[in-house]
Structure 1
Amino acid sequence: MNIAEWLAAIARRRPHAPALLDGDRVVSDYAGFADAASSVAGYLAEQGVVPGDRVGVYLANTPRYLELLYGIWWAGAIAVPINRKLAPAEVATIVADSGASVVFTGDVAVPDTRGPAAPVEREPGDLAWLFYTSGTTGRPKGVMLTHANLIAMSLCHLADVDPIGPGEAVLYAAPISHGAGLYGLIHVRMGSRHIFPPSGRFDPDNVLVLARKVGAVSLFAAPTMVRRLVDAARSKGADGIKTVIYGGGPMYLADIQDAIAVLGERFVQIYGQGESPMTITALSREDHRDPGRLASVGTAQSVVRVRVCDADGRPLPPGSTGEIEVKGATVMAGYWNDPVATADAVRDGWLRTGDLGRFDEDGYLTLAGRSKELIVSGGSNIYPREVEDVLVGHPAVAEAAVVGVPDPEWGETVVAFVVPAPGAEFSEGSLDELDEHCRDRIARFKRPRRYHVVPDLPKNAYGKVLKTELLEKP
């Protein structure tokens, strides 16, 4: 099945339903959306694109983006969405690796070309989306996502994340090339309105204004975006926002507690990877009412099995920390042109996520960090996420990152990088206070031995902290 058939179906059933909005202004209904996708497919055929070819999209978020994305699928081709924040050299690497024959970029205008009346037929196992990883530890790899992967992920949204009713809307506050675009798929199937902020970027004040005007708005946001939205909503309120789905990075306990206090019961957390898009675990809206669940990332989603294993791939019991593995309908078909990396990542159908975590007796998963970031000091394992949670719990700390650095006596020692909260300043005395804060909350061997105050943390184009760059600091 071609996932573009969802657009064709809703266009037949509800042709005049508003589809694409520039701000609060409707620029296309679903009939027009489908016609535009068909036209893009016709144009691609004229360029020699055949089913299975790769087509890149390197654009900021605009209504045109969705027309191009669905036009690529309508033609039976494979979409290669490229993060607009990437540098030219990074874009060139992705284009070359994917073998994309066409790349849409800039203020693209596709002639009104007559295209096929229906999407080209595709099999469930055919590739639909080539998702390039963020490359925090090396060269980005192309994750092969099939039509079946995307369909399973989308239907899981309705079962485990957020039901979608008539007249709702999705707002693209984060890049369509990433999680926001993936979550847009189910909103097409349900005939939602798709809102694009006119600025093409995330502006929390503008998001709040649009939500009040349009109503019943859902959005996907990284934790840093949630913090900014919460700060803006303190004085303006959050009328019109139905659901904020957050993921893609660590949401610290103090931050989600503050977010709930300001915005109320509007939050759902998802944990996933490009290799199992948006679909490993979910912490439901109901679970957010239980303070004891907030430090977790929830329970396994409906179409996957999740387990925690030791270094030899043996499942561990609840309470034990190990590598998180996932198996099911959303797990990728592999890495593009990289069978060695594929074999290393997927073992007997189980995706080795590279993330560390532990289950409790009720099946709730708590993350402990990346396996490559594990710190071993004096023979003891130290999980950076645990230390970072404690640091961010101090009112003077906005963000924190913890790394291990070589130590001749202990093997590694813990070093913390902290970003002051707005209006906060650190002096030698306040760092002593921060150290005391840690001593009161975690074992002495886990607390940082050195603190660095920095104006911000280095991040890649997807908002993930680049700890490799922190390790290079003196």
Structure 2
Amino acid sequence: MADNEAPIGLWNIARATPDAVALIDPSGSQISYGELVSRANRLANGMRAHGLSTGDTLVIAMPNCIETVCLQFAALQIGLYLAPVNWHLTGPEIAYILGDSEAKIFVADERFAESAVIAAREAGMAAADLFAHGSIDGFRDLDDLVADVDDSEPSDRTTGAPMLYTSGTTGKPKGVRRPLPGVAPEQAAMGGIGFFGVMGLVPHDDHVHICGSPLYHTAVVNFVMISIQLGHNVVLMDKWDPEEMLRLIQEHRVTHSHMVPTQFRRLLALPEEVRATYDVSSLRNMIHGAAPCPREVKQQMLEWWGPVVTEYYAATEGGGTTIFGDEWLTHPGSVGKAWSYSIVKVLDDDGNEVPRGESGQVYMEMKGSSFEYYKDKEKTQKARVGNMFTTGDIGYMDDEGFLYLLDRKNDMIISGGVNIYPAEIEGELVVHPKVADVAVFGVPHSDWGEEIKAVVLPADGVVGDDALSEELMDYARARLAKFKLPRSIDYVDEMPRDDNGKLYKRKLRDPYWERAERAI
């Protein structure tokens, strides 16, 4: 069967080729398309029997494993909203999501037992609605949910949707909730062709996707589920390790992945002889986003892997841009052009589009799609101009329509009336060999309003002291204008980033402002 005649969608593929491998677990065990459908159907029937109906919410705290993907497809085919929680959250933080999302069922893995028990108790969920993958006190075994149902297709199948919660770097997180499409799962699967198409990926074509990030992130969930829907094998990693990823790429002839710049930096930190050990010639499209990538890091990855490194800029709320490796070499630093079904504009504070080359706030819209922050119309409207929304990023567009990001509006430093973008400073300092990670932000200054503070995580074996500060400042002076130089450098033992590379800068910045307020 030619690829252009091959079926699209999990259930169609399972009907045509039930024995084809769909998923490889971190343990190395495999599950076929037929087996995946059987388990997803039983879970869907079990949730229906439990009383869940279209539009209800299922919350899960699960690691990267086969059961997580089965739960995702179960929710997808019976019109549920699936809210995967960041399992690094505390019990009270998970309890907030359980309550806010009005969860009808909570499924947790035994490795997150402590926070799951606290969350369920504080959210006031009934014991009958709690299910454990493994053993958790007070939770029912997940197999109890499917004990009295078969694996036939559920009746009245309709497509569900993810309901992912924003990271909550400013206040409580909000669930991004889209209207359900009201179509069969097989029809909805066709939409994945367009999304993967803007990334240069087509259905089938012997593609293999490797997932090394947690399945509670928007892009990670999308890439895994769409890969399976389009006939791509998926290899799951539980805990990401740079050399292990290279080994799996070689073993499974991986063709594409979704990555973050932190992973690139850790790959590049491997000794040259280790990197040379593994065959990565199967790679066709290694896609990255979620966090800014320093230019030198991107350049080194392109030199190692070739022009297979694709970058995108997008948000959970929808819309985005893409730039392929060969385009980036001629437009270094850009995050690309708008997708064919997305609108991207740079607007001033009054909502007017600025001329090309001038900076402003980046707004996006995904044509034909809408969203709202669940139970927060004020936040929804505040982020919008017409049908376009912003996540607060500042950037500009060149004459060819390539978008360049400068920083987040909330992170911009105003010192002596001059706008300073921390991302530019971070991008220079982070490539110093003695720096593992860096965050730059403004702290109070009596005369200038703000001054530039750098907080550095030293590389392994490096001591953060005055000598290192002097070395880093000398390095920065050769690369940055004087007004962009940090006035001081502090050192930390750990940088507050999540697994997808997002930096919680407020956790570093707030103590400086709180001290200043107490001093007044």
Fold shared per TM-score above 0.5:
yes
Is this contact kept in 2: 1:357–1:369, CA < 8 A? Answer: yes
Q: Which residue of 1 is the match for residue 291 of structure 2?
A: 249
Is this contact kept in 2: 1:37–1:68, CA < 8 A? Answer: yes
Return closer, same or farther for 1:227/1:148 CA change in 2, 3 Å cut-off. farther
Q: Which residue of 2 is the match for residue 443 of structure 1?
A: 481
> 1:84-103 residue pairs with structure 2 within 5 A?
84-103=87-106
Structure 2: distance between partners of 1:171 and 1:216: 7
1:405 matched to 2:443? The reply is: yes
With 254-263 and 29-38 compared, the bigger mean Cα shift is at 254-263
Is this contact kept in 2: 1:295–1:366, CA < 8 A? Answer: yes
Is this contact kept in 1: 2:36–2:70, CA < 8 A? Answer: yes
1:342 matched to 2:380? The reply is: yes
Give the aligned residue type for 2:168: G
1:196 matched to 2:229? The reply is: no
Is this contact kept in 2: 1:22–1:62, CA < 8 A? Answer: yes
State the 1:26 CA deviation. 5.1
Whichever of the two has the greater Rg, that structure is 2
Return closer, same or farther for 1:27/1:159 CA change in 2, 3 Å cut-off. closer
State the 1:267 CA deviation. 1.1
Specify the SS of the correspondent of 1:236: coil
Q: Which residue of 2 is the match for residue 117 of structure 1?
A: 153
Structure 2: distance between partners of 1:203 and 1:394: 22
Q: Which residue of 1 is the match for residue 207 of structure 2?
A: 168
CA offsets per residue over residues 377-402 of structure 1, 9 Å max, x none?
Answer: 11111111111112224333232211
CA offsets per residue over residues 130-188 of structure 1, 9 Å max, x none?
Answer: 11001111100000135559868733433221314433222221111212111123212
State the 1:207 CA deviation. 1.7
Is this contact kept in 2: 1:20–1:195, CA < 8 A? Answer: yes
Return closer, same or farther for 1:262/1:231 CA change in 2, 3 Å cut-off. farther
Give the aligned residue type for 1:379: G
Structure 1: distance between partners of 2:431 and 2:88: 31
**Structure 1-normalised TM-score?**
0.90
> 1:130-209 residue pairs with structure 2 within 5 A?
130-146=163-179, 154-164=192-202, 165-178=204-217, 179-197=219-237, 200-209=238-247
Q: Which residue of 2 is the match for residue 57 of structure 1?
A: 60
1:273 matched to 2:315? The reply is: yes
State the 1:428 CA deviation. 2.9
* Structure 1: gaps of 5 or more residues: none
CA offsets per residue over residues 8-59 of structure 1, 9 Å max, x none?
Answer: 2222232221112124845321122112111111100111011111111210
Structure 2: distance between partners of 1:41 and 1:345: 35
Is this contact kept in 1: 2:26–2:65, CA < 8 A? Answer: no
Return closer, same or farther for 1:433/1:201 CA change in 2, 3 Å cut-off. closer
Structure 2: distance between partners of 1:116 and 1:48: 18
**Over the residues paired in the alignment, what is the CA RMSD in angstroms?**
2.4
**Structure 2-normalised TM-score?**
0.83
State the 1:234 CA deviation. 2.6
Structure 2: distance between partners of 1:324 and 1:105: 37
Specify the SS of the correspondent of 1:16: coil
> 1:276-295 residue pairs with structure 2 within 5 A?
276=318, 279-288=319-328, 290=329, 292-295=330-333
Structure 2: distance between partners of 1:15 and 1:94: 37
CA offsets per residue over residues 75-128 of structure 1, 9 Å max, x none?
Answer: 2211111122222221111111000100121224352522552574447xxx61
CA offsets per residue over residues 395-452 of structure 1, 9 Å max, x none?
Answer: 3323221101111111111111122234544553442332233333332222111111
1:231 matched to 2:269? The reply is: yes
With 422-431 and 25-34 compared, the bigger mean Cα shift is at 422-431
Q: How many residues align?
A: 461
CA offsets per residue over residues 247-297 of structure 1, 9 Å max, x none?
Answer: 111211121122223333331111111111xx4111213324x1x423121
Between the two proteins, what is the percent identity of the paired residues? 28
State the 1:210 CA deviation. 1.7
Return closer, same or farther for 1:365/1:167 CA change in 2, 3 Å cut-off. same
1:83 matched to 2:86? The reply is: yes
Is this contact kept in 2: 1:254–1:392, CA < 8 A? Answer: no
Structure 1: distance between partners of 2:333 and 2:487: 25
